[in-house]
Amino acid sequence: MSNSFFSRTGFLRTILVSGLVAVSSFSAPAAIAADTYPSREVTFVVPYPPGGNSDNLARVFADRLRVKLGVPIVIENRPGGTTSIGTSIVGRAKPDGYTLLLATSTAFTVLPYIRDVPYDPVQGFEFIGSLAGYLPIMTVRNDLPVSNLKEFVELARKEPGTLTFGSAGIASGGHLAGEILKNSQKLDLLHVPFKGSADTMTALLGKHVDFFIDGVGLELVKSGKAKALVTYASVRHPELPDVPTPGEEGFELALPFEGFWGLAAPAGTPEPVIQKLAKATEEILAEPQTQERFHRISVSASWKDGQAYAKDLEKSRAYYRELLKTIKMSDE
């Protein structure tokens, strides 16, 4: 599925099909399913390996969802293809509410523009709602002779082609953020993709890369193992109040990371089941303890219902379509 998918499939058709699915889901069997749901463990597919921001977020959320629903929530890490493998697994699953997806902006707004994906990003899923926004940190090696973003840009210009940045994979948030930095400042930086954020962090500690833009930087910065130059968002990180944003440093670099993660189920999942999950999710994200735990893993709780989240994804698709052309990552 290439970027032409979105031009061939209008969103009016998407809304119509979604409406038909929603109407049909209120049949008697669906109502019965909702009354008894859940009656057994629920599988929560995370399309990243263990140890990164996405995995940490999923585990914090699953811990609370288990309490809300009264059944085990089993995390199943299915990394690969920069989220496409795990996403496609859920897209093919039985639509009964027992297989859920940690949805990412990468899977639904970026990948379909740069490669064929084995799932339908528009009609293949029911969106339960948004979970969290991202607070990535531009993290550099302690021995890199810079203390702020301006000094970093100056060093990169003095030494073109020598500085490297790691990411959780091609088209991941960290990759796109690095490409925006390269493009906007006319820098020659080398991208090194890894399988996940944990591997990127290990590479920085081993001095195999010079920096990365990822939420896992919080752990390294707070332990003194690396330096934070900026929080790559529109607001400062609650755990790093002294670290500025790019905008505060005079750089317009932030990506639309609000609503970066969401919760989704296969298309055709009964609407009453979706609503039951949505209610539980909204309650979890409103909990102060959940919000505090999220901050500690560089994410911010961000609830919107499934319809609003789908609209946000549509807006992000339009944004990334133009961005990917600008940074020459689109096949258009």
Domain range summary for the chain, segments of one domain joined by + = 4-134+257-326, 137-249
Cα 250 to chain centroid distance, Å, stands at 26
pLDDT at 10 exceeding the cut of 50:
no
Sheet with strand 299-301: strands edge to edge? 73-77, 42-46, 99-104, 261-266, 125-134, 299-301
Alpha-carbon span 222 to 137, nearest angstrom: 12
Topology given in CATH for the domain delimited by 4-134+257-326? D-Maltodextrin-Binding Protein; domain 2 (3.40.190)
pLDDT digits (tens, 9 = 90+) for 219-250: 999 999 999 999 998 889 999 999 999 999 99
pLDDT of res. 26:
46
Q: Does domain 137-249 have CATH number 3.40.50.300?
A: no
What angle (nearest 5°) sits at the alpha carbon of residue 299, between those of residues 297 and 301? 125
Question: Is-contact 146 152, C-beta < 8 A?
Answer: yes
- Same fold for the pair 4-134+257-326 and 137-249: yes
| Res. 1 pLDDT band, cuts 50 70 90 | low
Q: What is the pTM of this model?
A: 0.84
If one counts every other C-beta atom within 10 angstroms of the C-beta of residue 23, the result is 10
Above pLDDT 70, what percent of the chain?
89
Distance CA 264, CA 261 (A): 10
Q: Note the pLDDT tens digit of each residue in 109-121.
A: 999 998 899 999 9
* Nearest Cα to Cα of residue 82 among 165, 194, 166: 194
pLDDT in tens, 159-180: 999 999 999 988 888 999 999 8
Location of structure tokens 């790019």: 246
Record the tokens describing residue 163, joined without a space: 């500085």
User: What integer is the mean pLDDT of 304-322?
Assistant: 92
Residue 258 is predicted with a pLDDT of: 75
Q: What's the pLDDT band for 33 if we cut at 50, 70, 90?
A: low
Phi, psi of 213 (to 5 degrees): -120, 100
* String of DSSP letters for 246-274: TGGGT-------TT-EEEEEETT--HHHH
Position 6 confidence tier, pLDDT thresholds 50, 70, 90: low
Higher model confidence: residue 101 or residue 232?
101
144 confidence band (pLDDT: 50, 70, 90): very high
DSSP three-state, residue 279:
helix
pLDDT-derived band at 14 (thresholds 50, 70, 90) equals very low
Which two three-digit tokens encode residue 51?
């140890």
On the 0-12 / 13-18 / 19+ scale of CB atoms within 10 A, 174 is: buried
What pLDDT, on the 0 to 100 scale, is given for residue 253?
75
Please tell me the predicted confidence (pLDDT) of residue 328. Answer: 80
